[in-house]
Amino acid sequence: MSVKRSTIELDELAATPETLTRKQVQEAIRKGSSLVEADMRASDLAGLSFDGVDLRWAKLAEANLTGCTFRNANLSRASLWHANLQGAVLDGATLEGADFDFANLDGVSIKGARFKKAIFPLGRLTIQSIQAAVKSGALLQMESSGMDDDE
C-alpha cells in the first residue's frame, strides 16, 4: 500500500534531524521517496526537478528554488515563506494552503495550478494576476516592493 511505503520513506528521512542537503534531496527524488514534511529550509536547490513529487507540509522557507520545476507536484500546506522561486515552473501543481508570503515569484509559471487558501505576497501580486496566470500560462510579474524608493 502506498501509504505504508510513504511512512517508511518518511521515517528514513526523519532519521536525519537537520535540514536535508541538496545531495539528500536529489537522492530522495531519484529513489521516488516521499518528501512529505521534509525540512529543506534555506537549502540551495536551484534547478532541481520536483515534478510529480509529494511535498505536502514540506519546509522550504528561505530556500533557493530558482529555475526548479514542480509540474504536478503536491505542495499542499508547504512553507515557502521568503523562498526564491524566480523562473520556477509550478504548472498543474497543488498549492492548497501553501505559504508563499515574501517569496520571489517573478517569472514563475503556474498554469493549471490549484491554489485554494494559499498565501501569496499580495502586496506585490494581485489575485487577478495570479488567476490570469493559472488560466493563460502567463508568467507572474511581481511589482516593486517600494523599499528601494528614495523619497
pLDDT in tens, 56-87: 999 999 999 999 999 999 999 999 999 999 99
| Structural domain of 10 | 1-143
What integer pLDDT is reported at residue 16 of this predicted model? 47
Evaluate whether residue 150 is within a structural domain: no
Half-sphere exposure (CA, 13 Å, Cβ side) for 80?
A: 31
Handedness of CA 123, 126, 131, 137 (dihedral sign): negative
What integer pLDDT is reported at residue 146 of this predicted model? 56
Evaluate whether residue 34 is within a structural domain: yes
- pLDDT above 70 covers a percentage of the chain that reads 84
Evaluate whether residue 149 is within a structural domain: no
Q: What is the largest CA-CA distance in the chain?
A: 61
Evaluate whether residue 15 is within a structural domain: yes
Query: Number of folded domains in the chain?
Result: 1
CATH number at residue 23: 2.160.20.80
Distance (Å, rounded) from C-alpha 95 to C-alpha 112? 11
